[in-house]
Amino acid sequence: MKKLSENRTAALAILIIVALLAVPVLGGLRLSLAKRSAAREFSKTVCTPDRHGNDLYSDTDKLILTAQSMLEEGKKLAGSEPAYDIKQRAERLEKAISNTQNAKKAIVRYESCEALISEARQFYNSMRGNTSDTLDMYLADVNSQESRIERVYRLAYSAYADKLEDITSGFPAELIASLYGIGGGR
C-alpha cells in the first residue's frame, strides 16, 4: 500500500474534502460573529436609557402591562363562555405577552414586541363590538406605545437588519447564512 504522500489521487481527494468543509465552517463562524456584533450594537443603542430613564425594556414592559390589562378586560366582556375565535385570540395574546416577557436579548425583545402589538390588535378586533370604553382605552394605549417604540427604536433595528443583509448578501455568504439560519429580513 502506498503512503498518502505518494498517492496523489487520495491526497487530492482529502484536500478537496477539507476545503469543502472549511468554507462553510469558517464562513459560518465569521457570519455568526458578525451577527452577534450587530446584535450587541443594537442592544447598546436601545438599552441606553434616555433622559427620562426609558429604554427598550422599560417601554416594552409598559406595553406588556397594557396588553395584560386589555386581555383581562376582554375576557370579562366575553363572559364565561367566550366565542371560539375570541378564545383563540386570547390564547395567542397570552403567548405573545409571555414571549415578550421572556425575551432577554434586545433583538428578540424588539421583534416579539412587534408580534405582541399585532396580537393585541387582533384580540381587540375579535371582540366585534363587544367592547367597552376601558377596552378602547387599552387599544389607544397600545397604539401610543407602538408609536413611541417605532419612533425611538426602529432606526436602530433598521441598521441591524441592514448590517445582516450586508453580511449575508452574495455568494457564498448567502448559502452559508442559510445553512446556519443567519440573516432575516425586516
pLDDT at 56 over 70: yes
Residues 163, 40: Cα–Cα separation, whole Å = 12
pTM of the prediction? Answer: 0.74
Provide the residue type at 64 as one letter: I
Residues 135 and 73 sit within 8 Å (Cβ to Cβ):
yes
What's the whole-number mean pLDDT along residues 48-75?
Answer: 95
Q: Percent of the chain having pLDDT more than 70?
A: 77
What's the whole-number mean pLDDT along residues 81-91?
Answer: 90
Residues 63 and 93 sit within 8 Å (Cβ to Cβ):
no
